[in-house]
Amino acid sequence: PATEFRPLGDAAHRWFFARGPAHAVAVAVHGVNGAPSMMDPTAELLASQGIHVLRLTLSGHGGVDPELPFTVRAEQWVDDFAAAWDAAGVRYSDLPRVAVAHSMGGAVAVRCLSDGRIGRCSALVLLAPALGLARRSKAARALRWLRRLRVALPVPMPPEYRAHRSC
């Protein structure tokens, strides 16, 4: 489908337009340290089914610094998602809106919805959402010292889907 890039604040968005008449608009968001493009196949599939998709790039992603995503506060990601949600609603006010979110993007979308940061959501699609990780996050914090040693744990996602090649 035809695409266009539109900057909105510090986040870059990419539109995937429905082939034929659209019956919904979705905001798609990646996870922490995931390249925004990892959502492109999902966005293309949705566009082929008559759904416009606004693919969001969370602040701190898409660069070459592997530490950058971890320097941005989660509240900024909530702001990014809420701004993209509003932009989709302004552009397509007559269409129902859907959130499609992967990993930490899922936690961001759920937070926006539960805090009332986004308007009516017709559907919420969570792909491996980072929810209920309180115990695991303590273990992850304990492993932060590995970064000082320049040791990286293996990342199972393909390199082309990573926000930073060194991870």
Q: Which residue has the higher pLDDT, 30 or 74?
A: 30
Residue type, 58: L
Integer Cα distance of 89 and 52 in angstroms: 11
- The mean-pLDDT minimum among 40-49, 54-63, 85-94, 131-140 falls in 131-140
Give the closest residue to 93 by CA, choosing from 22, 28, 13, 39.
22
| Residue 7 predicted with pLDDT over 70 | no
- Indicate whether this model's pTM tops 0.85: no
Report the SS3 class of residue 16.
Answer: strand
List, in sequence order, every residue forming a beta bridge with 109; answer none if it has no partner.
none
pLDDT, mean of residues 134-158? 52
* Residue 100 and residue 78 in contact, taking contact as beta carbons nearer than 8 Å: no
- What distance, in Å, lies between the first and last C-alpha atoms of the chain? 31
Residue type, 38: M
**Res. 135 pLDDT band, cuts 50 70 90:** low
Could you report the per-residue pLDDT of 58-73, keeping only the tens digit for each? Answer: 887 765 555 565 677 8
Residue type, 84: A
Tokens read off for 1: 């489908």
